[in-house]
Amino acid sequence: MTRPPSVPVKNTQAKETVLIYGWTVVIVSFFIAILAYGGIYSFGIFFKSLQEDLGWSAAATSGVFSLYLLSYCFFSIFSGWAVDRLGPKIIISLGGFFIGLGFLLASNAYRLWHIYFCYGLFIGIGISAVYAPLLATTSRWVEKRRGLALGIVSSGIGAGNVFVPLLASYLISQYGWRTSYIIMGSLAGGGITILAVLYLKKDPPLKKYVQKNAEPNNKTGTCIFESYSIRKIFLFEAFWLLALVYLMVGFGLQMMIVHIVPHIVKVFRTSQIIAAGVFSIMGASSIAGRLLMGAISDIIGRKSVLIICVLLEGIAILTLINTLNDYALYLFAVLFGFGFGGHNPQFPALTGELFGLAKMGSIIGLHLIFYGISGAFGSFLAGSVLDRTGSYYNAFGLAGIAMLLAAAFSLKIKRPQLC
């Protein structure tokens, strides 16, 4: 029996190849995210050890993570631009190299500027070459279930939050923070580089980067984003509204990520291991949020899910600072983790819907500047407030308000009229 003439054999086989390999990219990206972000989000576990061993203040120690955020987000502009042109293999491999190098060099830090340079700068460069490239590449390889695919990839960040902080706590208790950094740097740097080299290609051959539901132009009947420069996209209100959401979320989220463990130890008068366990609960809950809300966003829309999640985070933070109940602490971990896990895949998915896929890596990189500046400021501010007042209450209150403002800005985002 002959095939219908409307279904060319070569084109059908190419589509099947794209479909199969697309989900291979998703799984590989998931494990890369675990390796990259597990170590980074364990910084709060190392926080007390760095303070005690090197005699730094809370503000000075927080500044390490602040510098990481700034360098990560600044260099994301270049990595996003590069992955749009060179593909993920080269860029993510370089990211693995810098992450591993940063951890290994940080293990030999004895002065404040040592760890600022090794951890804050090198690891920031490494992560910048992982985040935007992974999300842009996944978006290009998976089309029909893009929300779910991005949820799976970003759940690797949550899985890293679950397992790596517990591993870090064990390693620190057994070998000290210096040896722990050597072990984590070897695992993360080597693993990321190997996976990227073996499994990540450039772009699927059939992708046209055509925006769905856009008004057609006179020549082609479609609105193709490849014809729009970054300078043109700067003129869209949606770009700046999404930037404000990044700004608010970065401020609140990174403050909580860095300081929640010290807050739990101080306010709830518990051990470092138990506090790390609460942090891991946040990570586990974030996995559920990424997967469930990623899939739901394919049904009800990215913006709606983003609003729900950031509202949940804001309410959870404001509830936490007004209670000393142990059960409320665990409830916070579940709700906040679910919220920040759920909002994460919505940013790249919404970026693709608003501005197309052709320059997605570059646009994510530009938005991350806003995220990084506010995240660095939020982390440093919380440390400064603790040094001055002995409490995180006022700083965490601002974090909760920032999340509520993110929801308000999200409500106003609309797809730009491109044609």
User: Does residue 250 sit within a domain?
Assistant: yes
* Distance between CA atoms of residues 181 and 248, nearest Å: 31
- Across the range 208-212, mean pLDDT stands at 44
User: Does residue 304 sit within a domain?
Assistant: yes
Longest CA pairwise span in the chain (Å): 80
User: Does residue 10 sit within a domain?
Assistant: no
Q: Which residues pair with 72 in a beta bridge?
A: none
> Which residues have a Cβ under 8 Å from the Cβ of 75 and sit 6 or more positions away?
124, 125, 128, 129
Does pLDDT of 116 surpass 90?
Answer: no
When pLDDT is cut at 50, 70 and 90, the band that residue 11 belongs to is: low
Which of 98-102, 244-248, 266-270, 334-338 shows the lowest mean pLDDT across its residues?
266-270
Which of 59-73, 90-104, 236-250, 256-270 shows the lowest mean pLDDT across its residues?
59-73
- Across the range 387-396, mean pLDDT stands at 90
User: Does residue 8 sit within a domain?
Assistant: no
Q: Which residue has the higher pLDDT, 145 or 374?
A: 374
* Distance between CA atoms of residues 199 and 178, nearest Å: 32
When pLDDT is cut at 50, 70 and 90, the band that residue 97 belongs to is: very high
3-state helix, strand, coil in the chain (%, to 5): 80, 0, 20
* Distance between CA atoms of residues 345 and 54, nearest Å: 37
Which of 156-170, 201-215, 396-410 shows the lowest mean pLDDT across its residues?
201-215
pLDDT of residue 402: 96
State which residues form the domain around 297.
15-411
pLDDT of residue 7: 44
Number of domains into which the chain is organized: 1
Q: Which residue has the higher pLDDT, 160 or 92?
A: 92
pLDDT of residue 159: 82
- Across the range 34-60, mean pLDDT stands at 75
The DSSP call for residue 370 is H
* Distance between CA atoms of residues 88 and 135, nearest Å: 10
Q: Which residue has the higher pLDDT, 130 or 85?
A: 130
pLDDT of residue 214: 42
User: Does residue 416 sit within a domain?
Assistant: no
Question: Which CATH number covers residue 37?
Answer: 1.20.1250.20
User: Does residue 272 sit within a domain?
Assistant: yes
Q: What percent of the chain has pLDDT over 90?
A: 27
- Across the range 382-404, mean pLDDT stands at 92
pLDDT of residue 410: 95
pLDDT of residue 399: 95
User: Does residue 1 sit within a domain?
Assistant: no
- Across the range 133-139, mean pLDDT stands at 86
pLDDT of residue 39: 77
User: Does residue 418 sit within a domain?
Assistant: no
pTM of the model: 0.74
Does pLDDT of 202 surpass 70?
Answer: no
When pLDDT is cut at 50, 70 and 90, the band that residue 228 belongs to is: low
pLDDT of residue 373: 87
Which of 68-72, 209-213, 242-246, 297-301 shows the lowest mean pLDDT across its residues?
209-213
Q: Which residue has the higher pLDDT, 307 or 214?
A: 307
Does pLDDT of 108 surpass 80?
Answer: yes
CA-based nearest residue to 353, from 244, 212, 227, 215: 212
